Structures are given as structure tokens and as C-alpha cells.
Structure 1
Amino acid sequence: MSDILAGWQVKAKEAQKANKQFLQKMQTKKGKGAEKLLPDLHEEAFEKIDCLQCAGCCKSISPRFKTPDIKKVSKFLGIKESALIETYLRLDEDGDYVVKRSPCPFLGADNYCSIYDVRPGDCRNYPYTDSHEFFKRPNTTYLNSTICPAVFYVLERLKGAGI
């Protein structure tokens, strides 16, 4: 495992203020120069990180379940959309459907997702380390750096690149 990842959770909490400032700076620069590095850094991070060893995202945050997600998941589970909503989801303060509790009810003890093939778009795209979303939402990204080792890894590599 990379030196960057050794004790990443403690390092991420300690670096929160610096990471937030770095991301805000990148947002004002529109990720200038850094955005093109993201796909390679994303690949590099996931060569070192196995999501099944962590599942921090599934254990602590919820994706939004948009209408197409609700349709796909309910069909996959063989239940009505209303039953999926009533059993597993709630409306958050933004009016989005999210899971009622953490960890995600679809996460198994082995960190496998029982709805992986039809998981919501937010799950498919998380942790956004290979897209412009990484810089577009700095508050979310710096928070994600304490939840996902890949986000922390990419942030540290970007800061180390002197961008």
C-alpha cells in the first residue's frame, strides 16, 4: 500500500482545512491543469485500493435514488416502487430520496452490494475522482476525503503535483 494511504483516515481529518482551501482554489481556477490529471490519478488510486476492503461510502453516506433508479431497483428486487420507497427510502431536506439508515440496507456483511448491477447513478459515479465533479463541488470532495481513501489519495497526489 502507498505511503499516502497509510493512516489515511487520520491524515484526512487533519488535512480537512488545507484540502478545503486547495479545492476552493481549484474551483476558482476551474481545475486548470489538474482536471486532465484526474483520469490517470483515478486509475492509480484504484490500483492500490479495493473498495470491498472499505465500503466507507456505503457505511456512512447515501446516494440519491432518482426516479429511474427507483424503477430499476424495484424491478430488480421484484417489489413495487411504493414498497421500495416505504421500506428503504426517505425524503431528505433537498427533496431527494435517500436510504433511511446507514449503513446502506443493500450492503452485505462482506461489503458486496446486493443491487450492484442496478445501483443508483450516484453509486456508479462515486467517488467522482475521474470527473469535473471533483472540483465542481469542493465541500463534498473534501468531506469525501474522510470517507473514501481514493478521494484522499487523489487530493494528496494533486497537491504533491504543485498544481
Structure 2
Amino acid sequence: MDLERFREKAHNRSAENKKFLLGLKRKDPRKVDDEFHAMHEEVFEEIDCLTCANCCKTTSPIFYPTDIERVAKALRMKPGDFIEKYLRIDEDKDYVLKSSPCPFLDAENYCMVYEDRPKACREYPHTDRKKMVQIMELTYKNTLVCPAVLEMVERLKELKV
């Protein structure tokens, strides 16, 4: 995965993609879901997250209390110690990682806590969820992080969804 080329393409198409995605909010939500879900399946048949891991390298998931407990247990730590070592509270008052790349990402792009990873990681990039029209701003932001999301949006634009 050529992340430099991806970043350039994402940046160059940023305004166009934002306009397209925000325009989808006026469309039939079921049709938007159907199109995104089909494109999600198609694109992830072609793209292997392990060749990229840009999400893990550049952004932090939100850690909810159940996530903190689960990951701390997997690491054989007390939740308080886990928070102190790995997390901070962001401007939205959410727990997020202190640093990037994610401290649980290994050299081969595997997650060392994969089975116990946070809910936000499990659901990322959120392109197969219901009511996609509710998360168009997030989807736009994800076009700047995830090559698969950028590819989905590019293909959806071609289909003139």
C-alpha cells in the first residue's frame, strides 16, 4: 500500500468527496445503506488492511469503559494502570490513546490485542453499518485515513448514487 500516494489522492479529492458525501444525507437512507454495504464488500475483497494499517498508525479509537476493562484484562493490568500508561482524555472528554501509532500495532501490522480490541476498532471504518446517512461527516474524515473508504467513495461517485 502506497500511503504517500493515497494521502495525496485523498487530499486532492477532499472538497469533492465532502460535497458528495454530505449530499447523500438528502437521499433515501436505505438506498445509501445498500450502496455502501455492497461497495464495502466489494472493496474489502480487494484491499487487505494488513498491508496498510494507516488507521492504527495515525488515529486513536475511543476507549469506552468496557473496552478499557477488556484490554486491560488481556494485558493483565488493572484498568487504572492501563489508563495511566496508554490513555488520555481528549477535547470531547473521551479516552483515546496518548500516542500514535497505536502501541499495540506490531511491525507486521498485526494488533497485539486483536481479540480484545476496542469497539471502535472492531467497527472501523463503519461503512457497513445501518443509517450511513447519519455518519457522513465521519465517513468523509475516514476518506483521509482509510484507502478502502476513499476507494468506496470514488466508486460510489462513478455510480452517481
Normalised TM-score (structure 1):
0.90
Per the alignment, residue 4 of structure 1 pairs with: none
Contact 1:53 1:111 in 2 (8 A): yes
Stretches of structure 2 that go unaligned for 5 or more consecutive residues are none
Per the alignment, residue 59 of structure 2 pairs with: 61
Change in Cα spacing, 1:133 to 1:16, as seen in structure 2 (3 Å) is: farther
Per the alignment, residue 12 of structure 2 pairs with: 14
- 1:36-61, Cα deviation, whole Å (9 max, x unpaired): 12222111111111111100000011
Per the alignment, residue 142 of structure 2 pairs with: 144
Amino acid at match of 2:159: A
Hey, which bits of structure 1, 4+ residues long, moved more than 6 A?
none
Greater mean deviation of Cα atoms: 31-40 or 120-129: 31-40
Per the alignment, residue 46 of structure 2 pairs with: 48
Matches for 1:29-40 after TM superposition, within 5 Å:
29=27, 31=29, 33-40=31-38
Contact 1:129 1:150 in 2 (8 A): no
Aligned residue among 108, 114, 117 for 2:115: 117
Query: Shift of residue 112 of structure 1?
Result: 0.5
Question: Secondary structure in 1 aligned to 2:88?
Answer: strand
What is the rounded CA distance, in whole Å, between the counterparts of 2:142 and 2:73 in structure 1? 30
Greater mean deviation of Cα atoms: 20-29 or 82-91: 20-29
Greater mean deviation of Cα atoms: 115-124 or 125-134: 125-134
Question: Secondary structure in 1 aligned to 2:31?
Answer: coil
Contact 2:47 2:148 in 1 (8 A): yes
Amino acid at match of 2:97: V
Per the alignment, residue 80 of structure 2 pairs with: 82
What is the rounded CA distance, in whole Å, between the counterparts of 1:44 and 1:150 in structure 2? 10
What is the rounded CA distance, in whole Å, between the counterparts of 2:64 and 2:121 in structure 1? 12
Q: Percent identity at matched positions?
A: 46
Question: Could you say what the CA RMSD is over the residues aligned between the two structures, in angstroms?
Answer: 1.6
**Aligned length in residues:** 158
Stretches of structure 1 that go unaligned for 5 or more consecutive residues are 2-6
Contact 1:106 1:113 in 2 (8 A): yes
Query: Shift of residue 9 of structure 1?
Result: 3.1
What is the rounded CA distance, in whole Å, between the counterparts of 1:64 and 1:75 in structure 2? 18
What is the rounded CA distance, in whole Å, between the counterparts of 2:10 and 2:131 in structure 1? 19
Query: Shift of residue 29 of structure 1?
Result: 2.5
Amino acid at match of 1:124: R
What is the rounded CA distance, in whole Å, between the counterparts of 2:97 and 2:28 in structure 1? 32
Change in Cα spacing, 1:39 to 1:58, as seen in structure 2 (3 Å) is: same
Change in Cα spacing, 1:150 to 1:144, as seen in structure 2 (3 Å) is: same
Amino acid at match of 1:161: L
More helix by share: 2
